[in-house]
Structure 1
Amino acid sequence: MKKTAEKISDSRRNVLKKATALATIVATGGISLSTHAQRQNSEVNSSKLEAKYLPIPTQAPATEGVLSLSGGAGLYYWDTGGDGPVVILSHPGRGSALTWPYQQPVFTKAGFRTIAYSRRGYFGSPAGSKSDTGSYADDLNALVKYLNVEKFHILGLAAGGFAVSDYVVSYPEKILSMTIVCSLFGLWDKNIDERLDFILPKSFSDLPPEFKELGPSYRWANPEGVNAWIEMEKKSKGDGIRHGQKAKSDITWDKFRAAKIPTFFIAGGADLYQPPSMMRAAAREIPNSETLVVPEAGHAVQWEQPEIFNRSVIAVFRKHS
């Protein structure tokens, strides 16, 4: 029995290794997988073994607080502290500072001071006055100053990309790298965004959040993980009061290119909102950016496939620290 169990464990590790190799980061000059990577894709897809889904890990110690803003608004945040390079995480519309339990202890162990915050109206962050909504970039910059952060890596998932793009074009001198996950920032590109009307039916917004956000493979194989995600999403809503925000700056491709910030795009292979083809189109607009497509993952790549996600993101952080 012991030898059999060891063989099964080894097989699972091999599957994970192959999956990681499949999710090879490639420069977006042509964005095409090599023949070797294509062979790996075939091997992974033909395997009968399911990748092992991990329970939420124990979190690293972190300081929590709420930064007060004008008009009664505030930003809830947690900060693991430390002297390493700083990483700031910007959450999706179906999330908050609670979105990152699979990243918090791993990034911290890798030597990064990791910070996440909730935008106004999300978990722990008072929405404040409707007449004083601030901007994505200035809210984050207030937090950056409060926490004495000089330069940092920024990562935005889905709607969190709006805050990333606004900050990057408003305060580019403070950014070491930006990672955009399943998002097209807050930038409107007619050639890209108008196709959303073609791929998403009008009734899409009425579907359950877990259906829209999580890939079908994950929902079938890991119901416990789905339930944990649902609980996170519910808590992230806060008191439900939100007034919306606008960007501080006009966001254009030219500004991104001029900033020359190392950029990493991540797409979920089963993402209904932002399929890989859409993310590749965005990546082609930024020379020398890199991309990663995570097989079978939906819109919540960081939750569904944290091992591949974390390993790849940490490699980019280290490369540009």
Structure 2
Amino acid sequence: MDMFQPGRRKVILSGGIGGAALLLGGERAEAAPARGCTFDVAPLEPEPLPPELTAPAQLARLDGFDLWYWDTGGSGPAIILLHPSTGSGHVWGYQQAPFAAAGYRVIGYSRRGHRGSSAMNAERPGTSADDLRQLMDHLRIERAHLVGSAAGGFTAASFALTWPARVRTVTLACTLLSADPRVLALMPSVREPWWKGLPHEFQELSPSYRGINKEGEALWKSLYAQSRGDHPPGNQPAGEPATVAAIARLTMPALFISGDADLITPPPVARLFANTVKGSELVVLPECGHSAYWERPALFNQAILDFLKRRSA
């Protein structure tokens, strides 16, 4: 197919902004035919609103706190979805059914301080990584695939650093990780300080998405408004800081996902992280901001499922 054929675009995973990108083995991949290196992408159209979550929801009563979660059940390997700070366990409508249909047991939950779960305790804040360990013990899950979006990636990375034997693979989507000096040195070149004054939907959703999907934007804003429930703002410590130096220790298969219009974790930053982890892969999704799981769910899901199929142990 001619990649410039009118009405359709072939997006090549080549590292170019505006397409999707892939890093293999911690090194930049040149544009060349390779397994999983092309997406045939139709003209951008509004995503239908996600289906309702249908898996049973429960409260896990842990060590002095409760975590709200849902669990599709089944005997397949577990995928645990870790939400961004602007979300909760309720945001995974696009992922629950496709991942379950692929044969996985899929779990989503709200971290402390988020909708349905306990408030954070200032005297005993704990860490979100240890909370995840307790939830896995409660659910009798010894090993899992972790998929973290944005702040959820902080938890996933910290957990993977602390309990690597319990992680099959780790996917870090649109995740800035720690304020490492190398990251801080990059940021002035890729965004201006005033971006923090933008409304959250402008910070997190790409112009392409906001321009064509008003219903989806409205639902994203509604889920964000409900994401804390009655809890005050604030984030629980993740655990071990996932600095660039620290994530170099990761040995399980790792996938990094970024959007080419992500203002918070732009592709150069995601590329820095991926180059640090031996054998990791990086996918940059086209016309996509910081909420890749929501803006480009078909490509997001495909990238993860293809990765799990190739790299699962």
Q: Which TM-score band (shorter chain)?
A: 0.7 to 0.9
Corresponding residue number in structure 2 for 1:278: 269
Q: What amino acid is aligned across from residue 203 of structure 1 in structure 2?
A: W
Structure 1 unaligned blocks of 5 or more: 1-10
Contact kept? 1:57, 1:105, Cα under 8 Å: no
CA distance, structure 2, for counterparts of residue 297 and residue 33 of structure 1: 22
Q: CA deviation at 1:26?
A: 3.8
Alignment of 1:119-158 (within 5 A): 119-158=111-150
Query: TM-score scaled by structure 1?
Result: 0.84
CA distance, structure 2, for counterparts of residue 119 and residue 66 of structure 1: 12
Corresponding residue number in structure 1 for 2:57: 64
Q: What amino acid is aligned across from residue 61 of structure 1 in structure 2?
A: T
The structure-2 alpha-carbon separation of the partners of 1:286 and 1:230, relative to structure 1 and needing over 3 Å to count, comes to: same
Structure 2 unaligned blocks of 5 or more: 14-18
Corresponding residue number in structure 1 for 2:27: 30
The structure-2 alpha-carbon separation of the partners of 1:198 and 1:218, relative to structure 1 and needing over 3 Å to count, comes to: same
Corresponding residue number in structure 2 for 1:4: none
Alignment of 1:1-321 (within 5 A): 15=8, 18-19=10-11, 23=20, 25-34=22-31, 50-59=43-52, 61-71=54-64, 73-185=65-177, 187-197=178-188, 199-242=190-233, 244-249=235-240, 251-253=242-244, 255-319=246-310, 320-321=312-313
Q: CA deviation at 1:140?
A: 0.4
Structure with the bigger percentage of helix = 1
Contact kept? 2:53, 2:92, Cα under 8 Å: no
Q: What amino acid is aligned across from residue 52 of structure 1 in structure 2?
A: E
Q: CA deviation at 1:245?
A: 2.3
Deviations 1:75-98 (A, max 9, x none): 111111111111001111111112
The structure-2 alpha-carbon separation of the partners of 1:132 and 1:69, relative to structure 1 and needing over 3 Å to count, comes to: farther
Contact kept? 1:23, 1:293, Cα under 8 Å: yes
SS at match of 1:149: coil
Q: What amino acid is aligned across from residue 130 of structure 2 in structure 1?
A: D
Query: TM-score scaled by structure 2?
Result: 0.86
Larger gyration radius, structure 1 or structure 2: 1
Contact kept? 2:26, 2:274, Cα under 8 Å: no
SS at match of 1:106: helix
SS at match of 2:60: strand
Q: CA deviation at 1:231?
A: 1.1
SS at match of 1:309: helix
Aligned residues: 300
SS at match of 1:160: helix
Q: CA deviation at 1:137?
A: 1.3
Q: CA deviation at 1:300?
A: 0.5
Q: What amino acid is aligned across from residue 228 of structure 2 in structure 1?
A: K
Deviations 1:134-181 (A, max 9, x none): 112110001001111111100111111110111011110000000011
Corresponding residue number in structure 1 for 2:16: none
The structure-2 alpha-carbon separation of the partners of 1:24 and 1:201, relative to structure 1 and needing over 3 Å to count, comes to: closer
CA distance, structure 2, for counterparts of residue 90 and residue 144 of structure 1: 13
SS at match of 1:284: helix
Q: CA deviation at 1:261?
A: 0.8
The structure-2 alpha-carbon separation of the partners of 1:20 and 1:97, relative to structure 1 and needing over 3 Å to count, comes to: farther
The structure-2 alpha-carbon separation of the partners of 1:243 and 1:303, relative to structure 1 and needing over 3 Å to count, comes to: closer
